[in-house]
Chains A and B, each alone.
Chain A
Amino acid sequence: MLLLEDIHTHYGKIEALHGVSVEVKKGEIVSLIGANGAGKTTLLMTVCGSPQATSGRVVLEGRDITRDKTSDIMRSGIAIVPEGRRVFPGLTVEENLHMGGFFNTKAEIRKSQQHVYGLFPRLKEREHQRAGTMSGGEQQMLAIGRALMTKPRMIILDEPSLGLAPLIIKQIFEIIGHLREEGITVFLVEQNAHQALHLADRGYVLENGLIRLQDTGANLLANPDVQNAYLGG
């Protein structure tokens, strides 16, 4: 589904990724864990083409997208729930969802919207409320719903649990599990390593711009190094 080959990404003159290779197969949930500043978000944003990789290849469903424009990449079956949610604060919940379905027909939008409301009944209640006035958890639901409106075959989630209450985090992870049942491939970045690896088929550990470990989610959970570094011993 998604293949990253020897990716190097720079911010100005600083190299943030020093040759990262990751594969996400169709239907999988793959988690990427790592400390702050390890380059997790950079890796996801490189997939989206902002910034573009300085060298290496990004291949989505067999097509090289390394040099494609962000707006073109995001129209080719991939959607992102970015770090910090980034819902449009001044737009209503419904308008936010419609921005997600920008390139679909009205009928498709209506259908996807009902689907999203089915997943998150709370969003239906808040349909005409401005997104900026909602709680963090509701905004996260909206960000996921907005990504689903594009009818993606693959969804990228960047720290969906950040800053949320434990009960909400549990709900969010349930939804992520549900996405797999719908046949959507999930690429998940998390600091909440325990839950992320529990859910994942496979996982990668990123450290200082390099992949240190890769294994199945269960094996990584059992790995003493991972336990020490990311699971609090």
Chain B
Amino acid sequence: MQDLLYFIQQLINGLTIGSAYALIAIGYTMVYGIIGMINFAHGEVYMIGAYTALITITGLATLGVAWLPLVLLIALICAVIVASSMGWAVERIAYRPVRGRHRLIPLISAIGMSIFLQNYVHLAQGSRNMGFPLLIEGGFRFGAEDSFQTSISYMQITIFITTLICMTALSLFIARSRTGRACRAVSQDLGMSNLLGIDTNKIIAATFVIGAALAAVAGLLLGMYYGSIDPLFGFIAGLKAFTAAVLGGIGSIPGAMLGGLILGVSESMTSGYLSGEYKDVVSFGLLILILLFKPTGLLGKPEVEKI
């Protein structure tokens, strides 16, 4: 019984962190799906989302706004707006001017963008950790009083539900809406979409913006979950989310969701049963294993052969 409770606890922790990874991974996978390139500044967009949320929450506290749902909602909206404009700017500055050139060029300009954003935050906000107030406290506990108890915090539930809402909204948007259909068309044949009169630049910008908005949601959630942020906050998370996207099959949205969850669970299981220091070894080892046997990732499709 004890063992089972312990296992469930690791599973819950893993799914929580994994669903946040998945939110970030969507940004990588959508951009890759549409222009075939990795957005290396995505982790920084996520970090800026977290900072914006923190600044908003602090600002609201000084103003005396205390009603929690309102605070969270305003913080979320601000984070999404700032991060989305960041995503738009990254596309406009680092990708569009060099699109169609050699693949390494946008890669380098995106890395430059990432270094710039990181250092900008260093300068503007300082290098030290900043405490993120734990706004959502408490939770449920299961198990006998005197032994191991499984706990699900309200924070974890919030992360899980928010992610679920975002994923459902995104899936519906991609499957049903006019712009979503255009996103799919552009990712399958950009030139042909252009020949149908579609302004492909707008669609590409839209994928950067959508990815950035989801990353900002993750920034707020994980900032609160971890309790502190710093300018390097986006680096590791970005790396993990990128791994999740590749694991699930880069370019595939359900793949990014699945990859995030697998990565999160494997990390927490390693921390729980082996040691926290091995969690990165296991998750990147898992990536290597999956790529060895399925080079396109779990849900990735091989390139469609065009006649």
> What's the interface size class on A, roughly?
20 to 34
B197 touches A84 (CB 8 A): no
B181 touches A98 (CB 8 A): yes
Distance in Å: Cβ of B255 to nearest Cβ of chain A: 14
Q: Which of B181, B199, B304, B307 contacts A99 (CB 8 A)?
A: B181
Stretch at the interface among A21-29, A68-76, A188-196, A215-223: A68-76
A84 touches B195 (CB 8 A): no
A11 at the interface (CB under 8 A from B): no
Distance in Å: Cβ of A63 to nearest Cβ of chain B: 16
Given contacts A88-B185, A91-B181, A132-B304, A99 and B193 within 8 Å (CB-CB) = yes
Name the A residues within 8 Å of B304 (CB-CB).
89-90, 132
Given contacts A82-B192, A86-B189, A91-B184, A102 and B307 within 8 Å (CB-CB) = no
By beta carbon, the residue of chain B nearest A146 is B196
Name the B residues within 8 Å of A146 (CB-CB).
196
B188 at the interface (CB under 8 A from A): yes
Name the B residues within 8 Å of A88 (CB-CB).
184-185, 188-189, 192
Name the B residues within 8 Å of A103 (CB-CB).
197
A84 touches B307 (CB 8 A): yes
The answer for the CA separation of A85 and B198 in the assembled complex, in Å, is: 17
The answer for the CA separation of A75 and B184 in the assembled complex, in Å, is: 20
By beta carbon, the residue of chain A nearest B188 is A88
B192 touches A86 (CB 8 A): yes
Name the A residues within 8 Å of B185 (CB-CB).
88, 91, 95, 99
By beta carbon, the residue of chain A nearest B301 is A90
B184 touches A50 (CB 8 A): no
Interface string of A87-122 (1 = CB under 8 A from B): 011110001001110110000000000000000000
**Residue ranges of A at the interface with B (Cβ–Cβ < 8 Å):** 48, 50, 69-75, 79-80, 82, 84-86, 88-91, 95, 98-100, 102-103, 132, 136, 146, 150, 163
28 A-B pairs in the complex with CB atoms less than 8 angstroms apart: A50-B191, A50-B195, A69-B199, A70-B194, A70-B195, A71-B198, A72-B197, A74-B196, A82-B192, A84-B307, A85-B307, A86-B189, A86-B306, A88-B185, A88-B188, A89-B304, A90-B304, A91-B188, A95-B185, A99-B193, A100-B196, A102-B178, A102-B182, A102-B196, A103-B197, A132-B304, A150-B197, A163-B307
